[in-house]
Amino acid sequence: MPTELIDGVYDITCREEPSGKRYRVFLFTGEVPTLFDAGFESTAETVFDAIDRIGTEPERLVITHGDGDHIDGFDAIVDRYDIETWVPKQTALETEHTPDHRYGDGDRIGVFEAVHVPGHEPDNHAWVDESEGIAVMGDAVSGADQRGLPAGYFHLPPAVYSQDLNEAESSLERLLEYEFDVGLVYHGSSVLEDARAKLERYVNFPGKP
Nearest to 158 by CA among 131, 185, 136: 185
Domain-embedded: residue 42: yes
Q: Specify the pLDDT at position 1.
A: 80
The pLDDT of residue 20 is above 90:
no
Q: Is 125 helix (H, G, I), strand (E, B) or coil?
A: strand
Q: Which residues contact 116 (CB under 8 A, 6 or more apart)?
A: 104, 105, 124, 125, 171, 174
Confidence (pTM): 0.96
Domain-embedded: residue 96: yes
The pLDDT of residue 115 is above 90:
yes
Encode pLDDT of 42-57 as tens digits. 999 999 999 999 999 9
Q: What's the first-to-final CA gap in the chain, in angstroms? A: 44
Domain-embedded: residue 208: no
Buried/exposed code over 114-128 (b: 16+ C-beta within 10 A; e: otherwise): bbbbbbbbebbbbbb
Give the mean pLDDT of 97-111. Answer: 98
pLDDT classification of 153: cutoffs 50, 70, 90:
very high
Q: What percent of the chain has pLDDT over 90?
A: 90
Q: Specify the pLDDT at position 161.
A: 80
C-alpha pair distances (Å), 131 with each of 62, 182, 193: 19, 12, 16
Q: How many domains does the chain have?
A: 1
Given a contact cutoff of 8 angstroms between Cβ atoms, the answer to whether 57 and 32 are in contact is no
The alpha-helical segments, DSSP class H, found in the chain are 44-54, 68-71, 74-80, 165-175, 195-203
Q: What is the rounded CA–CA span in Å between residue 131 and residue 150?
A: 28
Q: Which residues contact 163 (CB under 8 A, 6 or more apart)?
A: 119, 120, 121, 122
Domain-embedded: residue 122: yes
Q: Which residues contact 148 (CB under 8 A, 6 or more apart)?
A: none
pLDDT classification of 162: cutoffs 50, 70, 90:
confident
Domain-embedded: residue 178: yes
For residue 30, give its domain range.
3-203
Given a contact cutoff of 8 angstroms between Cβ atoms, the answer to whether 78 and 60 are in contact is no
Domain-embedded: residue 13: yes
Give the mean pLDDT of 72-101. Answer: 97
Q: Look up the CATH number of the domain holding residue 117.
A: 3.60.15.10
Domain-embedded: residue 93: yes
Domain-embedded: residue 209: no
